[in-house]
């Protein structure tokens, strides 16, 4: 990960080209990269999926997707450059037809001798990932190509090992890019910048100063049309063993020796190796009332739509510092925050009536949303007579820096990284297998489900999990709207 590099000419083969992720993120993201001059000068996109379409239908589909979901207005010029590069092959046409279309696209760009690369993007459910890999192998499309894979990578240690073995029969590890889009968020990378590019924070980034760490990702949305996926997945597999743990690794890792992919991956994997196996007694599983009535959900479903847990990174830096994680669907607000809580001061000079401690300890908070906000909250004196304390904060937001438009959305960033072969923000087989290993006690004995009302912060038991401390959300004060 360094300065933006220009990718070689590319043929991108998009599996699941008419799926939800392609519509919401991948097609608009590719258009945006093209408009921003971050796609290779020469590229082609070959879409494939179960839908029967021709090239024109697919271009119309992609246009609608971009109109609905692109972050900025779709400009005629940008679209006219992008659209002719899209073609489509339905799955029913078979691997041979797909291979022909890909080879034709490679030839149009000058052939393999012109340095044209092939990037396969498997935007397909885990149950289909293995067969897509088989198809790539059988049709000769795997050789010298790269492949981007979507989570979840298995459902437990055993299935993750099997999936990795299947992948490794066809691809070398350096060809594989396992995506976790939380790591592509600007704000997640700002954790690295803040920690390792400043002298101020790293000296206090340890158990001597930090009391506990919170990672909270409540979502107001429900499961939408994803009942099939969600019933078999649940909040823990969908969010915790993937996104929240990856974010935790950025918070907890030791300073990498360099900004090179291997150095960062190694430090993240060391965090995963230090994680204590999860204790089911420190986990609250919840299900929102009404979930079992959602279309496609079993009337006696035991799938959790909420999970909160305490985990520990058992190493020199973090020994004794609990990490509390919480995420769920149909909750009171949507947010994605990391909050670092510092120890209380050792001497209670301020009486309780002053307001000290009313809002918990001082916090450093990262908001992982697109505004990439950070805030340092602390007690300060309330203006006026006497000594009353209020919680104040210093805040940074990408909004107001004048650079908002330069930020890339997570998928844009990661597709670009995959095209230039940069693994820094991708996860590895080792790391994922270790996360399933620490999950084993929880998967073997999940605590009973607790119901919660939609629009709340989860089951009541989550307060006992964190007591005597408190969850960071809802915030005691609002983010400032403009800085
Ligand atoms: C996805 C999960 O990986 O991440 C979804 O499958 C979740 O259930 C989503 O809603 C959250 O991502 P973001 O970027 O909207 O916070």
At which residue do the structure tokens 């001497």 appear? 347
Report the distance separating Cα 139 and Cα 96, nearest Å. 6
Ligand 1 nearest atom to the CA of residue 182, by list position: 14
With residue 121 as reference, give the H or E element that holds it.
Answer: strand 117-122
Exposure string of 64-76, with b = 16+ CB inside 10 Å and e = fewer, is ebbeebbeeebee
Report the distance separating Cα 398 and Cα 81, nearest Å. 30
Query: Active site includes 211?
Result: no
Class of residue 112 by CB neighbours under 10 A (exposed 0-12, middle 13-18, buried 19+): middle
- For residue 91, what pLDDT is reported? 96
- For residue 261, what pLDDT is reported? 87
Give 10-residue mean pLDDT values along the chain (483 residues).
Answer: 79 97 97 94 96 98 97 92 97 96 96 92 89 95 95 92 95 96 93 95 96 98 90 96 97 94 95 98 98 96 98 98 98 97 89 88 92 91 94 88 86 97 95 98 98 98 94 82 58
- For residue 482, what pLDDT is reported? 57
Nearest CA to ligand 1 atom 7: 239
367 CA distance to ligand 1 centroid (A)? 15
388 CA distance to ligand 1 centroid (A)? 41
- For residue 359, what pLDDT is reported? 83
Sequence-ordered list of residues with C-beta below 8 angstroms from that of 381, at least 6 positions apart, any chain: 387, 388, 389, 390
Ligand 1 nearest atom to the CA of residue 334, by list position: 16
Take residue 440 and report the two structure tokens written for it.
């084993």
Predicted TM-score (pTM) above 0.85:
yes
Q: Which of 227, 229, 239, 244 to mutate to test the pocket of ligand 1 (most atoms within 8 A of CB)?
A: 239
Nearest CA to ligand 1 atom 13: 182
- For residue 377, what pLDDT is reported? 92
Q: Which of 152, 230, 243, 305 to mutate to test the pocket of ligand 1 (most atoms within 8 A of CB)?
A: 243
Q: Ligand 1 site: residues with CB under 6 angstroms?
A: 181, 219, 238, 336
In DSSP terms, which residues pair with 213 in a beta bridge? 323, 340
Of the residues 243, 363, 416, 423, which is catalytic? 243
**C-alpha count within 13 angstroms, C-beta hemisphere, residue 356:** 11
306 CA distance to ligand 1 centroid (A)? 13
């Amino acid at each position: 990960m360094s300065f933006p590099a220009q990718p070689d000419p590319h043929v991108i083969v998009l599996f699941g080209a008419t799926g939800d992720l392609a519509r919401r993120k991948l097609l608009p993201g590719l258009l945006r990269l093209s408009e921003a001059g971050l796609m290779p000068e020469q590229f082609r996109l070959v879409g494939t999926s179960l839908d029967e379409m021709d090239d024109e239908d697919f271009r119309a589909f992609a246009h609608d997707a971009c109109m609905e979901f692109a972050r900025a207005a779709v400009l005629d010029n940008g679209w006219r450059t992008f659209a002719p590069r899209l073609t489509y092959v339905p799955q029913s046409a078979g691997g041979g037809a797909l291979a022909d279309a890909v080879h034709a696209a490679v030839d149009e760009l000058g052939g393999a001798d012109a340095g044209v690369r092939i990037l396969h993007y498997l935007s397909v459910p885990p149950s289909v990932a293995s067969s897509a890999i088989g198809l790539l192998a059988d049709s000769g499309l795997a050789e010298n190509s790269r492949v981007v894979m979507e989570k979840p990578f298995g459902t437990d240690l055993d299935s993750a090992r099997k999936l990795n073995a299947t992948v490794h029969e066809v691809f070398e590890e350096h060809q594989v890019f396992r995506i976790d889009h939380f790591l592509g968020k600007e704000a997640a990378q700002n954790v690295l910048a803040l920690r390792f590019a400043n002298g101020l924070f790293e000296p206090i980034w340890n158990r001597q100063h930090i009391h506990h760490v919170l990672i909270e990702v409540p979502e107001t949305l429900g499961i939408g049309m994803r009942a099939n996926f969600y019933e078999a997945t649940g909040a823990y597999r969908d969010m915790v063993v993937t996104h929240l743990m990856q974010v935790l690794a950025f918070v907890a890792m030791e300073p990498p020796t360099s900004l090179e992919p291997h150095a960062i991956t190694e430090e993240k994997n060391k965090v995963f190796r230090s994680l204590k196996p999860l204790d089911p007694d420190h986990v609250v599983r919840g299900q929102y009332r009404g979930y079992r009535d959602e279309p496609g959900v079993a009337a006696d479903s035991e799938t959790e739509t909420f999970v909160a847990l305490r985990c520990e990174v058992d190493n020199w830096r973090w020994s004794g510092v609990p990490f509390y994680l919480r995420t769920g669907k149909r909750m009171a607000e949507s947010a994605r925050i990391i909050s670092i809580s510092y120890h209380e001061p050792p001497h209670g000079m301020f009486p309780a009536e002053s307001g000290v401690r009313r809002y918990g300890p001082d916090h450093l908070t990262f908001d992982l949303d697109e505004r990439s906000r950070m805030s340092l909250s602390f007690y300060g004196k309330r203006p006026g007579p006497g000594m009353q304390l209020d919680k104040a904060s210093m805040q940074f937001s990408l909004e107001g820096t004048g650079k908002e438009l330069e930020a890339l959305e997570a998928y844009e960033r990661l597709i670009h990284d995959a095209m230039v072969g940069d693994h820094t923000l991708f996860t590895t087989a080792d790391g994922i297998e270790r996360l399933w290993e620490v999950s084993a006690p929880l998967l073997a004995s999940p605590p009973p489900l607790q119901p919660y009302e939609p629009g709340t912060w989860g089951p009541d038991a989550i307060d006992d999990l964190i007591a005597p401390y408190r969850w960071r959300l809802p915030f005691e004060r609002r983010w400032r709207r403009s800085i």
